[in-house]
């Protein structure tokens, strides 16, 4: 029912490290590791309409003169690199850490650098001119821009292909600690930061899986009386603003939320009308021309011109047609969530815990999330151990 397919991937990996005691409670550690990641089922089978657009396999474009684009959007131009079957990513990782541990305090500070070679990324597919009408999977190419990027009806963004394209460097720092400042009181937390760039361009790389995480931090203070059955803990978690979004992140409907004037029109006349956000059209039904935005009294054209003016610049290029997609968000805001939790233990087997999360009802999300995180909530759990 489907053509035979097979692939084999092989490489080598290893690790070497050293520990040095500087003074008795302070230890320095160094590690080097070499590894590889073979293309997984997501890399090989993520075809058709995916979260960031319409994607084809390398075999679909074999023999068509296909090359890899410089970015993952409509501004891409050919790199001159021919689309080829996927092979393994390789990595060389270096990390150096200082570890401190005494009776009341333990801490660990680590700096790391990771070089990824042959990174598997999603980029715009570039085809020779004259590709309109050609079939790509279940879709027919309906348009092609001057740079060779092609478009199909399933997506307003250009067709994408996964390829081993670039070399990426990630560097960052991690810190964690735990401190018992009194017999019944403990404080602990952690912090992480990572900076990623494409070695060739210096831009944020088009890595899959939601992109590069922002700065992340966590802090907790716990009161747990000795020889008692109850405990309570206040804790906070937060993330920094992530403004280094790649062209793939900006095209991702979960992150950049790209939309066109045609998509605004479709929602204005249909989805928004059904929900009562806009009024019905001139024929008295949703889906027809006419209608206004109830909250502001604006017409469709006025809404389009406010949200997506035709003379808007995107990466130095003027948006000049009804189908051009432009990101709604170009950064992900930071946030801090405050929470409290506690518990009471009955005997050796029974415990009841309660968790009051996001007390201030803060709106928040991270790269790759399709919706905002949960708001204010209370959770009660009963644990039975046997």
Digit-coded pLDDT (tens) for 129-147: 999 999 888 889 999 999 9
* Domain shared by 147 and 283, yes or no: no
- Give a yes or no: residue 298 inside a domain: yes
pLDDT at 322: 61
Are 95 and 172 spatial neighbours (Cβ–Cβ below 8 Å)?
no
Rounded Cα–Cα distance for residues 139 and 161 (Å) = 14
- Give a yes or no: residue 36 inside a domain: yes
Rounded Cα–Cα distance for residues 34 and 9 (Å) = 16
Domain that holds residue 338: 14-256+331-384
- Give a yes or no: residue 319 inside a domain: no
* Domain shared by 268 and 364, yes or no: no
Query: What is the average per-residue pLDDT within 156-173?
Result: 89
- Give a yes or no: residue 7 inside a domain: no
Residue 312 has pLDDT above 70, yes or no: no
Query: What is the average per-residue pLDDT within 44-73?
Result: 84
* Domain shared by 127 and 147, yes or no: yes
- Give a yes or no: residue 246 inside a domain: yes
* Domain shared by 231 and 265, yes or no: no
**In sequence order, which ranges of the chain are alpha helices (DSSP H)?**
41-45, 247-251, 261-266, 272-274, 300-307
CATH number of the domain within which 346 lies: 2.40.170.20
* Domain shared by 188 and 296, yes or no: no
* Domain shared by 77 and 41, yes or no: yes
Please, what's the b/e burial string for 244-265 (b: 16 or more CB within 10 A of its CB; e: otherwise)? bbbbbbbbbbbbbebbbbeebb
- Give a yes or no: residue 22 inside a domain: yes
Least confident of 42-46, 107-111, 372-376: 42-46
Based on the number of CB atoms within 10 Å of its own CB, is 198 exposed (0-12), middle (13-18) or buried (19 or more)?
Answer: buried
Q: In which band, very low, low, confident or very high, does the pLDDT at 62 lie, cut at 50, 70 and 90?
A: confident
Residue 366 has pLDDT above 70, yes or no: yes
* Domain shared by 175 and 65, yes or no: yes
Q: For the segment 92-127, what is each residue's pLDDT rounded down to a tens digit? A: 999 999 999 998 999 999 999 999 888 888 889 999
* Domain shared by 61 and 142, yes or no: yes
* Domain shared by 211 and 180, yes or no: yes
What pTM, to 2 d.p., does this model score? 0.75
How many domains does the structure of the chain reveal? 2
- Give a yes or no: residue 312 inside a domain: no
Rounded Cα–Cα distance for residues 28 and 22 (Å) = 7
pLDDT at 157: 84
323 contact partners, CB below 8 Å, separation of at least 6: 151, 156, 260, 261, 262
HSE, side-chain direction, 13 A CA sphere, residue 373:
21
- DSSP per position, 200-231: TT-SPP-BSSS-----EEEEEEEE--TT-SEE
Residue 5 has pLDDT above 90, yes or no: no
- Give a yes or no: residue 324 inside a domain: no
The 3-state secondary structure of 112-123 reads EEEEEEEEEEEE
Look at 227 and 175; give whichever has higher pLDDT.
175
Residue 209 has pLDDT above 70, yes or no: no
Q: In which band, very low, low, confident or very high, does the pLDDT at 316 lie, cut at 50, 70 and 90?
A: low
Average pLDDT for the chain = 89
Task: Tell me which DSSP letter residue 242 carries.
Answer: B
Rounded Cα–Cα distance for residues 114 and 171 (Å) = 6
Query: What is the average per-residue pLDDT within 36-57?
Result: 81
Rounded Cα–Cα distance for residues 360 and 238 (Å) = 13
Rounded Cα–Cα distance for residues 219 and 166 (Å) = 37
Other C-beta atoms within 10 Å of 114: how many? 18
* Domain shared by 289 and 235, yes or no: no
CA 198, 330, 45 angle in degrees (round to 5)?
60
Query: What is the average per-residue pLDDT within 358-382?
Result: 92
Residue 208 has pLDDT above 80, yes or no: no
* Domain shared by 241 and 350, yes or no: yes
For residue 119 the two structure tokens come to 């990174």
* Domain shared by 302 and 342, yes or no: no
Residue 2 has pLDDT above 70, yes or no: no
């Amino acid at each position: 029912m489907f053509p035979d397919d097979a692939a084999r991937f092989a490489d080598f990996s290893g690790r070497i490290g050293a520990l040095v005691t500087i003074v008795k409670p302070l230890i320095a550690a160094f590690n080097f590791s070499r590894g590889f990641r073979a293309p997984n089922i997501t890399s090989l089978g993520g075809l058709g309409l995916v979260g960031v657009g319409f994607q084809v396999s390398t075999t679909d474009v074999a023999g068509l003169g296909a090359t890899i684009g410089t970015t993952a959007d409509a501004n891409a131009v050919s790199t001159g690199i021919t689309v080829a079957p996927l092979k393994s990513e390789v990595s060389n990782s270096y990390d150096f850490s200082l570890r401190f541990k005494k009776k009341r305090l333990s801490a660990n500070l680590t700096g790391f650098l990771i070089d990824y070679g042959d990174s598997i990324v999603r980029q715009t597919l570039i085809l020779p001119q004259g590709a309109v009408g050609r079939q790509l999977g279940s879709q027919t190419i309906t348009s092609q821009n001057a740079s060779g990027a092609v478009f199909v009806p399933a997506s307003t963004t250009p067709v994408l292909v996964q390829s081993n394209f670039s070399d990426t460097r990630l560097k960052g720092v991690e810190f964690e600690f735990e401190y018992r400042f009194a017999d019944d009181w403990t404080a602990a937390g952690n912090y992480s930061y990572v900076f990623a760039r494409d070695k060739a361009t210096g831009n944020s790389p088009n890595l899959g899986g939601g992109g590069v995480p922002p700065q992340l931090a966590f802090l907790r203070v716990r009161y747990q009386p000795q020889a008692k059955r109850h405990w309570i803990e206040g804790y906070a978690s937060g993330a920094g603003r992530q403004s280094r979004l790649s062209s793939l992140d900006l095209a991702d409907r979960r992150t950049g939320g790209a939309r066109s004037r045609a998509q605004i029109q479709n929602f204005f006349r249909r989805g928004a009308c059904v929900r009562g956000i806009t009024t019905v059209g001139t024929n008295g039904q949703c889906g027809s021309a006419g209608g206004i935005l109830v909250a502001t009294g604006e017409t469709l054209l006025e809404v389009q011109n406010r949200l997506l003016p035709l003379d808007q610049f995107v990466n130095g290029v003027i948006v000049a047609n009804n189908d051009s997609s432009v990101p709604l968000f170009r950064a992900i805001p930071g946030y801090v969530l405050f929470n409290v939790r506690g518990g009471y233990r009955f005997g050796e087997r029974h415990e009841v815990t309660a968790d009051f999360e996001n007390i201030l009802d803060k709106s928040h999300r991270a790269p790759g999330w399709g919706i905002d995180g949960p708001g204010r909530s209370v959770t009660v759990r009963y644990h039975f151990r046997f």
